[in-house]
Amino acid sequence: MGLRTALGEFLYGMTGYEFARQASHMRHELGMAMMLLSFGDMVGLPILPPMYALRLLPHVMLDIEPWKRQLLRERFALDNEEFDLIEM
C-alpha cells in the first residue's frame, strides 16, 4: 500500500471515521429495535411475532446469528459510552 494511501487512511481515522461509526451505531439501534419487535421470540422475549415476521425472515436470515450474538453478548457497563471520544 502506498504512503499516500496510508496517510489518507490515517487522516480518515482521525477525522471522519468516528462519524461513520456513530452513524452505524445509530442505524444499528433502529435495526435492533426492529429485530426485537419482529423476532424477539427467538431470544426468549414474550413477544407475539407480527404477521409480517415470516415475510421478513428471508431478508434477515443471515443477520439473525450476528444479531443474537450482539444482543446477548456480555457487556462492560461503559461499553456504549463512546470511550473512543474520551481522549486522555
Partner 1 sequence: MNTFFAVAIGLVASYLGYTQYAKRIDRDVIQADEKRMTPARLYTDGVDFVPTSRNVLFGYHFKSIAAAGPIVGAITAANLWGWVPAIVWLVLGVCFIGWVSDYSAIMLSIRNEGHSLSAIAHRLIAPRTRIILFVFIFFYLLLIGGAFGGILADVMNAQSQAPLGIIVLMAMALLLGQMLYRWHMSLIPATLIAVGVTTAAILAGPASASFFKDTLGGGINSLTGGAPLVQYFDPTVADPNTGLVVGAERQILPSFVFWALFILAFCYFGSVLPIWRWAQPVVYIGFWVTMVAMLLGLGGAALAIFVKPEVGVLKLAAFKGWDAGVGGAIQTIWPMLFVTIACGAISGWHALFGSVGTARQIEYETDALPVGGGSMFMEFLLGLLALLAVSTGGGGGAGAFANGLAGFMNVFGIPVEYGRALAFVAFTVIVLVVTQLVFRVMRVTLAEWLGESIPALRNIHVSTLVSLALALFLILTGTWIYLWQLFGGANQLMASLSLLVVTLWLVSIGRNAVWVGIPMLFMYVTTVAANVVTAYNLYITVFVSNVGREGRMIPTIGSALMIVMALLLVGAALVIAYDGWQAYRRFRTQPAIPVAAGAS
Q: Is 41 a residue that touches partner 1 (CB under 8 A)?
A: no
Q: Which residue has the cell 489518507?
A: 8
Only one of the segments 34-42, 44-52, 54-62, 66-74 lies at the binding site for partner 1 (rule: CB under 8 A); that segment is: 66-74
Q: Is 52 a residue that touches partner 1 (CB under 8 A)?
A: no
Q: Is 72 a residue that touches partner 1 (CB under 8 A)?
A: no
Q: DSSP assignment of the chain, as one string? A: --HHHHHHHHHHHHTTHHHHHHHHHHHHHHHHHHHHHHHGGGGT---PPPTTHHHHHHHHGGGHHHHHHHHHS---TTTTS-GGG---
Only one of the segments 37-45, 47-55, 77-85 lies at the binding site for partner 1 (rule: CB under 8 A); that segment is: 77-85
Only one of the segments 40-48, 49-57, 68-76 lies at the binding site for partner 1 (rule: CB under 8 A); that segment is: 68-76
The correct pick among 6, 33, 54, 57 for binding partner 1 (CB under 8 A) is 6
